């Protein structure tokens, strides 16, 4: 039963369609006054009347029934009380029936969403700056899939540019296949840094790098072999991190994939009279839209980041026929996306409106918590390893007899990193703190995982819930039911707003409602009916928390 829909259907207000009305109806934070509420100030403009007047008029004409038992006007709000017994019975049985599918939906059926995320650069370290795009993008993939959409997760690899010429030169001078295979990404970073140091003294190295880059582009066999080796090493290394974070992709088509797909785009731009010459370069003038020009070709005829993004967007439309094409990329690139979306629009691609930049803030590390080793970047791998190690220590301290300490530490450690990155509205900058993400108190993953483990231990001790006659529901029980009832809606708005943190916050709210219930409501020693009702609540909470964490890529543990 969708109560908002039901209430909206019964209200029937002239000039306000049902769907809009549904979005106006809220679940009040304190359900003493009502289980649902309509803030009538939202209708003031449309109905040209005061909220108090509107609430009173609506209350007097509302016909209560077996589902909505009470409707009252209070200070410009219309408050509804529902039949909580029906609500509890239907909700709990649906959650227990559907299990890990509870909360999933078919609204996305037949629709496709492309999600460009993580999009790392080949031969460059995978650092803490990539954490957000990776976990936000991965969570969005899981959320959209859960809602029935076909999702194409794309790692738009940064595998094009003169830096690959530089790497080849550096490789030939200071490394070997053997050294790269052993030293992996660290070796590649080492020679890349060395190249930059040396090129300052010897600018000829840069010319050589350009030469080798050209060779890659021209299909030279040896250069391409090396380039493929660098790519392979990088992908193997980052894959370890992706596995830990439960992240996967459907496509690794990176920038170089579009090498042969840009010429037709440039042609099209020319044909549509969009291309202008500027100091030998080809640009699309965006002055009219208050933006600097979008660079399409450099004076030497080579393409740019934007050129490849335009080609990629066209390719994605042709290949996947997306309904939405999302880019989970830091806000520093706001202008880039605005520019090339505008170019797509000017090219007459009506689907340009379906391309969306999902921007997020920066992640930095709390100072002093890890040396950045003389200005070097903080590797994501090290952050995760250190969090797992710290989690292991905490477990040793708190529960030394735990069976699978290593697996638990891994789930808790990686969970803490993911949850920490998904805890706040994505546009906010975050400062990562080991102690904070690993704390068992406050807004953390261990707190939620611990709640799941608590549900488990209750169920292990008392057994699975049996049939019961619904007892009268107390306030703490209802608070949990109320949270449980919000899950579906939360998942949908996380997708609508591209905001996985809504799921994170939700998990915290549900965990906290459950813990309050746990402290005030006995389970084990209670009489049959109450006991089974409370066990059903416990099992439902375990199910929904597990599903919520699953959408974020976080595993739960039986015990901790």
- Nearer Cβ to ligand ARG (156/426): 156
Element (H, E) at 365: strand 363-365
Q: How far is the CB of 387 from ligand ARG (least distance, A)?
A: 23
In sequence order, the β-bridge partners of residue 115 are 153, 326
Rg of the chain on CA atoms, in Å: 28
> Is residue 116 within the footprint of ligand ARG (CB under 6 A)?
yes
- Nearer Cβ to ligand ARG (10/336): 336
> Is residue 329 within the footprint of ligand ARG (CB under 6 A)?
yes
| Distance, CA of 41 to CA of 30 (rounded, Å) | 19
User: Out of 130, 231, 390, 426, which one is annotated catalytic?
Assistant: 130
Query: Interface mask (CB under 6 A) for ligand ARG, residues 285-324, using x and -?
Result: ------------------------x---------------
User: Out of 127, 231, 317, 357, which one is annotated catalytic?
Assistant: 127
CB atoms within 10 A of CB 363: 22
* Residue of the chain from 121, 162, 259, 439 that contacts ligand ARG (CB under 6 A): 121
Number of residues that bind ligand ARG (CB under 6 A): 8
- For 114-159, what is the HEC assignment? EEECCCCECCCCCEHHHHHHHHHHHHHHHHHHHCCCEEEEECCCEC
- Nearer Cβ to ligand ARG (329/409): 329
Q: How far is the CB of 48 from ligand ARG (least distance, A)?
A: 47
Q: How far is the CB of 157 from ligand ARG (least distance, A)?
A: 7
User: Out of 111, 124, 261, 336, which one is annotated catalytic?
Assistant: 124
In sequence order, the β-bridge partners of residue 431 are 364
Query: Locate tokens 């080849």: which residue?
Result: 168
- Nearer Cβ to ligand ARG (55/352): 352
> Is residue 251 within the footprint of ligand ARG (CB under 6 A)?
no
Taking Cα atoms as reference points, which of 313, 307, 233 lies closest to residue 275?
307
> Is residue 499 within the footprint of ligand ARG (CB under 6 A)?
no
Q: How far is the CB of 130 from ligand ARG (least distance, A)?
A: 7
- Nearer Cβ to ligand ARG (40/421): 421
Residues 6+ apart with CB under 8 A from 273: none
CB 462 within 8 A of CB 524: yes
Distances (CA, A) of 5 to 489, 518, 547: 12, 32, 24
- Nearer Cβ to ligand ARG (156/531): 156
The 3-state DSSP class for residue 26 equals: strand
CB atoms within 10 A of CB 106: 9
| Distance, CA of 160 to CA of 307 (rounded, Å) | 12
Active site residue 124: yes
Q: Which two tokens stand for residue 206?
A: 């840069």
3-state helix, strand, coil in the chain (%, to 5): 60, 10, 30
Distances (CA, A) of 480 to 102, 234, 494, 502: 16, 46, 21, 17
* Region from 53-61, 113-121, 260-268, 399-407 binding ligand ARG, contact rule CB under 6 A: 113-121
Angle at 491 between CA 488 and CA 495, to 5 degrees: 140
Active site residue 127: yes
Q: How far is the CB of 119 from ligand ARG (least distance, A)?
A: 4
> Is residue 134 within the footprint of ligand ARG (CB under 6 A)?
no
- Nearer Cβ to ligand ARG (315/392): 315
- Nearer Cβ to ligand ARG (426/539): 426
CB 261 within 8 A of CB 315: yes
* Residue of the chain from 242, 320, 327, 478 that contacts ligand ARG (CB under 6 A): 327
Q: How far is the CB of 248 from ligand ARG (least distance, A)?
A: 17
Of 156-215, which residues contact ligand ARG (CB under 6 A)? 156, 158
Of 140-159, which residues contact ligand ARG (CB under 6 A)? 156, 158
Residues with catalytic roles: 124, 127, 130
What is the binding site for ligand ARG (CB under 6 A)?
A: 116, 119, 121, 156, 158, 309, 327, 329
């Amino acid at each position: 039963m969708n109560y908002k829909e039901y209430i909206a259907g019964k209200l029937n207000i002239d000039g306000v369609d049902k769907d809009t009305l549904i979005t106006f109806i809220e679940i009040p934070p304190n359900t003493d006054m009502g289980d649902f509420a309509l803030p009538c100030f939202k209708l003031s403009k449309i109905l040209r009347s005061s909220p108090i007047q509107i609430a009173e008029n609506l209350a007097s004409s509302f016909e209560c029934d077996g589902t909505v038992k009470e409707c009252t006007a209070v200070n410009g709000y219309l408050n509804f009380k529902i039949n909580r017994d029906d609500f509890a019975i239907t909700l709990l049985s649906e959650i227990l029936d559907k299990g890990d599918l509870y909360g999933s939906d078919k609204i996305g059926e037949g629709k496709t969403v492309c999600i460009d995320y993580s999009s790392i650069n080949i031969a460059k370290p995978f650092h803490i700056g990539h954490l957000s795009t990776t976990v936000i993008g991965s969570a969005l993939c899981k959320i959209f899939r859960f809602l029935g959409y076909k999702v194409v997760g794309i790692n738009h690899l940064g595998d094009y540019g003169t830096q690959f010429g530089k790497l080849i030169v550096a490789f030939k001078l200071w490394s070997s296949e053997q050294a790269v295979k052993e030293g992996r990404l660290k070796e590649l970073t080492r020679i890349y840094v060395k190249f930059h140091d040396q090129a300052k003294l010897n600018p000829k190295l840069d010319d050589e790098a350009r030469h080798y880059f050209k060779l890659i582009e021209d299909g030279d066999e040896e250069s391409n072999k090396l380039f493929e080796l660098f790519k392979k090493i990088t992908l193997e290394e980052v894959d370890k991190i992706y596995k830990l974070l439960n992240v996967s992709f459907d496509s690794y088509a990176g920038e170089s994939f579009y090498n042969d797909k840009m010429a037709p785009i440039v042609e099209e731009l020319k044909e549509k009279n969009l291309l202008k010459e500027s100091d030998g370069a080809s640009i699309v003038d965006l002055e009219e839209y208050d933006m600097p020009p979008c660079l399409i070709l450099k004076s030497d005829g080579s393409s740019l980041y934007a050129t490849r993004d335009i080609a990629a967007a066209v390719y994605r439309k042709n290949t996947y026929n997306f309904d939405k094409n999302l880019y989970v990329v830091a806000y520093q690139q706001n202008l880039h996306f605005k520019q090339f979306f505008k170019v797509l629009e000017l090219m007459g691609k009506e689907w340009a409106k379906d391309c969306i930049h999902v921007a997020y803030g920066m992640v930095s590390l709390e100072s002093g918590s890890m040396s950045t080793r003389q200005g070097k970047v903080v590797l994501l791998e090290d952050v995760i390893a250190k969090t797992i190690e710290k989690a292991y220590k905490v477990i040793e301290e708190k529960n030394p007899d735990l069976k699978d300490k290593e697996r638990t530490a891994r789930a808790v450690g990686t969970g803490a990193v993911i949850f920490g990155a998904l805890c706040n509205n994505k546009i906010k900058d975050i400062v990562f703190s080991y102690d904070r993400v690993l704390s068992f108190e406050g807004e953390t993953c261990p707190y939620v995982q611990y709640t799941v483990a608590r549900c488990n231990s209750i169920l292990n001790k008392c057994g699975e819930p049996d049939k019961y006659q619904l007892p009268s529901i107390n306030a703490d029980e209802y608070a949990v039911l109320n949270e449980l009832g919000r899950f579906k809606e939360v998942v949908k708005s996380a997708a609508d707003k591209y905001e996985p943190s809504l799921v994170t916050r939700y998990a915290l709210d549900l965990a906290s409602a459950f813990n309050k219930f746990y402290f005030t409501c006995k389970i084990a020693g209670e009489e049959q009916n109450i006991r089974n009702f409370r066990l059903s609540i416990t099992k439902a909470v375990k199910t929904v928390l597990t599903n919520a964490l699953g959408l974020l890529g976080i595993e739960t543990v039986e015990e901790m």
